[in-house]
Chain A
Amino acid sequence: MSMHTLLQYNWSTMTPEFIILITALILSLADLWMPNDKNRRPLAWIAVVGVVLALIATAGLIPAKPVSILYDTFHLDSFSKAFKLLMLAGGMLCLLLALDYRPKEGLLHRGEFYYLLLCALLGAMIMASSGDLITMFVGLELLSVSSYILAGIRKTSAQANESALKYVINGGIATAITLFGMSYILGLTGTTNLKEMAAEVQKLADSNYQYLLALAFLMLLVGLSFKISSVPFHMWTPDVYQGAPTPVAAFLSVVSKTAGFVILLRLFIAIFAAAPAHGKDPSSLLLSMQNYIAVLAGLTMIIGNTVALRQRSVKRLFAYSSIAHAGYLLVGFAAMSWVMLDSIWFYLLAYVLMNVGAFAVIQRIADEADSDDISHFAGLYRRNPLLAVAMGIFLLSLAGIPGTAGFIGKLNIFLGALMTEPGHYVLATVMIATTVISYVYYFGVFVQIFFRPAGEAASVKLPVGLAITVVLCALGTLLFGIVPSLAYHVLAQFQHFGDFLQ
């Protein structure tokens, strides 16, 4: 590649990525040159500013036509723009949490903490834009490896060490399975480029290779279920959420999950929707494998919601809640309706707001008490009424009660599941039933906050980063619940991701 070809690429399409990269570089250099005893906290503000700039840059790119650069390995289409917006918003909120993260034992590598978070964010963004298996995998690993370190960054805590170890091992296995699945597709098509693959798999109609393709599909589904923490690779979630620093748990539950869905959707729609199903059936391989996704979605919802009932630890509770939400999102995917991408995007938007908000409150309560037992929430209403009300909004939204963004998100996913012909009634019923089950544990937190007397009388004060997060999330959750058309206007800009496959 000569200098000339390198320069003629439309590099501006990567502006958001460059901003994040440069911010991460600045932070790492600053961390290197700063004296050891100097407070690293201002670095977090630089990180926040960087992410906000990237967010603005991404928003500025919305009207741009779909572009593909670097030999089709980097796409900037409506899909990547929409999901990058979510990731950046989630990343910014998590950084605000990280800003005020003060564990009891102190945090040694505070500078690293921030730029690793940015690197993970960068990996997620690359996944959103990748048009090639290699870029996709590089993005995935950039996100994963940074997350492994982040999960174990509390070096002196035994629990954090255990959780990081579990995370690495589980992640390694999941990656191996994903790679195994990818290798099948590579072997069948001889290319790593998604577009070329789509053309190649079409030629596989009525051949025995289709079984290999189906096998690849299942491998990928199982492997990628790790990132979205759905069944069967969900077991790491409660341990890691409990042991990891709270901002990292929030990051994993929000940005990492979004990235997981991004790669899942991109890969499956690009390759398997193009592949014809076996026999004379005109539908695609993806449609014929629909039921497998549906089964995973059902199991994820049932396991997540029922196991959550037994949790005393709030972080574990939210880990199972996050598993359950992965199940709801998978329903949107399994339904394969017209509104599939829209409904998943909106749900993730709601999820980013309500979950980061809830984690902000958890961080304030659990990290101060150095224990995440649910009883520490007792009497929060007396200790800080506004914080209690904000947490109430997040919980209602997570439970899907009207007036909140979570309700509109669920409504849309339901609609998607029921508008296809034939409708996915079983899946919709499972989703409804598990939603009612989820009331029990979400309202259990309510009972602690509003009904139980406070153990300690001291009122709860919020540090600035947490306060901004809680306010932003609570307002967003209510705003998108009451005036959801605001978000739908943004979606209308993307025209239902019509350029997704071009």
Chain B
Amino acid sequence: MNGTYFLSLLIFSPLLGMILLAFVPKTQERTIKLFGFLSTLPPLLLSLFAFWEYLRGYHLEHLAEKHDWVRLADFPFLTESTYLIRYELNIDGFSLVMIVLTSLLATLAAAASIHIKKEWKGYFLLFLLLEIGMLGVFAAGNMILFFIFLEMTLVPMFFLVGKWGGFDRERAAYSYLLYNGLGSAILLIVILVLFARAGTSNLALLKEMLYNPVAQAQLIAPISGEMRLWLFVALLIAFGIKLPIVPFHRWMLRVHVEAPPSIVMLHAGVLLKIGAYGLIRFGIGLFPDQFRHFAFWIAVLGVINLLYGAFLAFVQKEFKMVLAYSSVSHMGIILIGLGALNEAGMQGAIFQAVSHGLIAAFMFLLVSILYERTNTTTIDRLGGLAKVMPLTAGCLLAGAMASLGLPGMSGFISEFTAFLGLFQTKPVVAAIGTLGIIMAAAYLLRAVLNMTFGPSMREDVQALDMSTVEAVPVFVLLALIVAVGVYPYMLAKPLQAAIEMMLNGLGG
């Protein structure tokens, strides 16, 4: 396949849908929803095509794009490319997997948006803008572009949460904006310190300049060891807010509860993963020594996340809150994997990013179906679902199984490899962490079994099982969850090269 402009086309293809949507009258609910859904298909098809080609041996380097964008300082004593911000895109196996995940979840979330009740046009315009931002983040070739795409997700999310969310939506939107704004701001400082001192924000060049003694001479100003340490800590905080790592997680609970379920699918499925992606790309990529230095504490943070989330999930009465804390808990596994500093750990972390993306999206898809019919997500009020909605209840159970890491489901692979990695290097921390897995079984089964088999409280509600339109995305996701669980090589192969490169950076 011809690589020129392929990535730009992939990222900006939802724009076409936005332009078409702009001409649809805003009262035409069905047309808008159909258009909105169809607009998410081009990026999905393009990314699946790229994935397929990659599996067959296509070199992703051919897809790289590079155009000069703006030169911020142009002095005779600087070289041509110093302080030049380029529009450059390139991907490797890891980013490709994330792009496929993003475009897939976007399509499914667009299908789940069938439950949106007002202002469909504005909703889908923002939705597609959000998709462009998310796709761009994973394809950005330099840090400034990464930041720009990241900020592109901030504004649509603020509106999507604040306008289409639940009762307390505006507060949730604000806490999303402020926490993430702060995270982005810290990230921006890191990016600009590097940019100001190296004259470039290209990831590959930065790596070269930071660690190759020859290239180091090209630095405009030195980047000392102490500064690197601070930069790494800042990165950890910035992405820690997005991930979220425990003291910074409160915004994420609000968003999980208040945002419309279709948006939470994207939020839990993709946006949280940007934190992990950034931490892996920039944290390990640019500061491997500092990362190694902090590895123990990152693993400890992971265990804290895992246990804290699990304990709090256990006492929640609201199913969305259970899922929210479960997300906090599962993000801990990513940190645990990263903290292990070996191949298994790294693989587990990335697997967890993908697997949790699928599972979280799956669960919130079911939540949107449930909420549509019963108008509640309180566990006690949802008893006896198995009788009235057998299909939904069964899927809920399957989702819980996947989430708690039942063998044969995607959750198992990621938890297993992450812990395998950590047991090799930090067995004590890992042993404490395994408690979290047991807790996960407890809180998920408690919640889901209460909802499916508990005493029925909702006899007044005419609960119908999911319709075909709703069932298709549900089963697509379930199939993927099982597929990854049964045949993890599907993911392991494209990720292999990327993981090896990161481990090389870490020095073994």
B192 within 8 A of A: yes
Nearest CB on A from B444, distance (A): 35
Contact string, A440-461, partner B, CB cutoff 8 A, digits 1/0? Answer: 1001001100110000000000
Contacts A414-B192, A415-B83 known; A339 to B174 CB distance under 8 Å? Answer: no
A396 within 8 A of B: yes
> Is B178 in contact with A423, judged by CB distance below 8 angstroms?
no
A403 within 8 A of B: yes
> Is A428 in contact with B185, judged by CB distance below 8 angstroms?
no
> Is A411 in contact with B72, judged by CB distance below 8 angstroms?
yes
Interchain CA distance A402-B220 in the complex, whole Å: 26
A178 within 8 A of B: no
Contacts A436-B178, A488-B70 known; A402 to B151 CB distance under 8 Å? Answer: yes
B281 within 8 A of A: no
> Is A443 in contact with B174, judged by CB distance below 8 angstroms?
yes
B159 within 8 A of A: yes
Q: Which of A408, A419, A433 contacts B196 (CB 8 A)?
A: A419
Q: Which of B148, B159, B177, B181 contacts A402 (CB 8 A)?
A: B148
Q: Which of A408, A428, A436 contacts B181 (CB 8 A)?
A: A436
Contacts A401-B154, A401-B155 known; A447 to B186 CB distance under 8 Å? Answer: no
B189 within 8 A of A: yes
> Is A423 in contact with B70, judged by CB distance below 8 angstroms?
no
Q: Which residues from chain B contact A433 at a C-beta distance below 8 Å?
A: 182, 185
Interchain CA distance A429-B186 in the complex, whole Å: 8
Q: Which residues from chain B contact A225 at a C-beta distance below 8 Å?
A: none
Q: Which residues from chain A contact B75 at a C-beta distance below 8 Å?
A: 338, 496
Q: Which of A402, A407, A440 contacts B174 (CB 8 A)?
A: A440
> Is A415 in contact with B72, judged by CB distance below 8 angstroms?
yes
> Is B188 in contact with A432, judged by CB distance below 8 angstroms?
yes
Nearest CB on B from A415, distance (A): 5
> Is A415 in contact with B192, judged by CB distance below 8 angstroms?
yes
> Is B73 in contact with A485, judged by CB distance below 8 angstroms?
no
Q: Which residues from chain B contact A396 at a C-beta distance below 8 Å?
A: 155
A492 within 8 A of B: yes
B74 within 8 A of A: yes
Nearest CB on A from B22, distance (A): 11
> Is B74 in contact with A492, judged by CB distance below 8 angstroms?
yes
> Is A419 in contact with B197, judged by CB distance below 8 angstroms?
yes
Nearest CB on B from A139, distance (A): 30
Q: Which of A419, A425, A440 contacts B178 (CB 8 A)?
A: A440
Q: Which residues from chain A contact B182 at a C-beta distance below 8 Å?
A: 433, 436
Q: Which residues from chain A contact B192 at a C-beta distance below 8 Å?
A: 411, 414-415, 418, 428
Chain B residue nearest in CB terms to A414: B192
Nearest CB on B from A428, distance (A): 6
Q: Which residues from chain A contact B83 at a C-beta distance below 8 Å?
A: 415
Contacts A402-B147, A439-B181, A443-B177 known; A423 to B73 CB distance under 8 Å? Answer: no
Interchain CA distance A418-B197 in the complex, whole Å: 8
Q: Which residues from chain A contact B181 at a C-beta distance below 8 Å?
A: 436, 439
A37 within 8 A of B: no
Tell me which residues from 118 to 171 in chain B have a Cβ below 8 Å from any Cβ of chain A.
Answer: 144, 147-148, 151-152, 154-155, 158-159, 162-163, 170
> Is A432 in contact with B152, judged by CB distance below 8 angstroms?
no
A342 within 8 A of B: yes
> Is B162 in contact with A451, judged by CB distance below 8 angstroms?
yes
Chain A residue nearest in CB terms to B159: A450
B71 within 8 A of A: yes
A163 within 8 A of B: no
Interchain CA distance A485-B67 in the complex, whole Å: 13
Chain A residue nearest in CB terms to B155: A401
Q: Which residues from chain B contact A428 at a C-beta distance below 8 Å?
A: 189, 192
Contact string, A458-502, partner B, CB cutoff 8 A, digits 1/0? Answer: 000000000000000000000000001100100010001000000
Interchain CA distance A440-B188 in the complex, whole Å: 19
B195 within 8 A of A: yes
A363 within 8 A of B: no
Nearest CB on B from A454, distance (A): 14
Interchain CA distance A446-B158 in the complex, whole Å: 10
Tell me which residues from 71 to 124 in chain A have a Cβ below 8 Å from any Cβ of chain B.
Answer: none
> Is A436 in contact with B185, judged by CB distance below 8 angstroms?
yes
Interchain CA distance A412-B192 in the complex, whole Å: 10
Contacts A415-B195, A450-B159, A451-B170 known; A488 to B186 CB distance under 8 Å? Answer: no
Q: Which residues from chain B contact A339 at a C-beta distance below 8 Å?
A: 72-73
Nearest CB on B from A424, distance (A): 10
> Is A423 in contact with B193, judged by CB distance below 8 angstroms?
yes
Residues of B within 8 A of A (CB-CB), count: 37
Q: Which residues from chain A contact B23 at a C-beta distance below 8 Å?
A: none
Q: Which of A435, A450, A484 contacts B70 (CB 8 A)?
A: A484
Interchain CA distance A435-B485 in the complex, whole Å: 44
Nearest CB on B from A283, distance (A): 17
Q: Which residues from chain A contact B144 at a C-beta distance below 8 Å?
A: 411
Contacts A402-B152, A415-B83, A451-B162 known; A439 to B178 CB distance under 8 Å? Answer: yes
A421 within 8 A of B: yes
Nearest CB on B from A281, distance (A): 21
B501 within 8 A of A: no
Chain A residue nearest in CB terms to B145: A402
Q: Which residues from chain A contact B159 at a C-beta distance below 8 Å?
A: 446, 450
B221 within 8 A of A: yes
Chain B residue nearest in CB terms to A436: B181
Contacts A432-B185, A439-B177 known; A421 to B221 CB distance under 8 Å? Answer: yes
Interchain CA distance A412-B185 in the complex, whole Å: 15
Q: Which residues from chain A contact B151 at a C-beta distance below 8 Å?
A: 401-402, 407
Nearest CB on A from B159, distance (A): 7
Q: Which of B73, B155, B197 contacts A338 (CB 8 A)?
A: B73
Interchain CA distance A22-B154 in the complex, whole Å: 50
Chain B residue nearest in CB terms to A434: B185
> Is A432 in contact with B186, judged by CB distance below 8 angstroms?
yes
> Is B72 in contact with A412, judged by CB distance below 8 angstroms?
yes
> Is B189 in contact with A432, judged by CB distance below 8 angstroms?
yes
Interchain CA distance A446-B155 in the complex, whole Å: 11
Nearest CB on B from A403, distance (A): 7
Q: Which residues from chain B contact A485 at a C-beta distance below 8 Å?
A: 68-71
Contact string, A393-411, partner B, CB cutoff 8 A, digits 1/0? Answer: 0001000011100011001
Q: Which of B68, B69, B152, B196 contacts A418 (CB 8 A)?
A: B196
Chain A residue nearest in CB terms to B188: A432
Contact string, A297-314, partner B, CB cutoff 8 A, digits 1/0? Answer: 000000000000000000
Interchain CA distance A407-B144 in the complex, whole Å: 12
Nearest CB on A from B247, distance (A): 17
Interchain CA distance A492-B76 in the complex, whole Å: 12
> Is B163 in contact with A450, judged by CB distance below 8 angstroms?
yes
Q: Which residues from chain A contact B186 at a C-beta distance below 8 Å?
A: 432
Chain A residue nearest in CB terms to B194: A418
Q: Which residues from chain A contact B152 at a C-beta distance below 8 Å?
A: 402-403
Q: Which residues from chain B contact A446 at a C-beta distance below 8 Å?
A: 158-159
Nearest CB on A from B441, distance (A): 40
Interchain CA distance A415-B71 in the complex, whole Å: 12
Interchain CA distance A484-B70 in the complex, whole Å: 6
Tell me which residues from 370 to 422 in chain B have a Cβ below 8 Å from any Cβ of chain A.
Answer: none
> Is A342 in contact with B73, judged by CB distance below 8 angstroms?
yes
> Is A488 in contact with B71, judged by CB distance below 8 angstroms?
yes
Nearest CB on B from A476, distance (A): 16
Most buried by B among A402, A421, A484: A402
> Is B74 in contact with A488, judged by CB distance below 8 angstroms?
yes
Nearest CB on A from B219, distance (A): 11
26 sampled A-B residue pairs with Cβ under 8 A: A339-B73, A402-B148, A403-B152, A411-B144, A412-B72, A414-B188, A415-B72, A415-B196, A418-B189, A418-B195, A423-B193, A423-B196, A428-B189, A432-B189, A433-B182, A433-B185, A440-B174, A440-B178, A443-B177, A447-B162, A447-B170, A450-B162, A450-B163, A484-B69, A484-B70, A488-B74
Beyond A485-B68, A488-B72, 15 extra complex contacts between A and B, CB < 8 Å: A339-B73, A401-B154, A401-B155, A402-B147, A407-B148, A411-B72, A418-B192, A418-B195, A418-B196, A419-B220, A432-B186, A432-B189, A440-B178, A450-B159, A451-B163
Name the 8 nearest CB pairs between A and B, nearest first: A418-B196, A419-B196, A402-B148, A432-B185, A484-B70, A436-B181, A402-B151, A339-B73
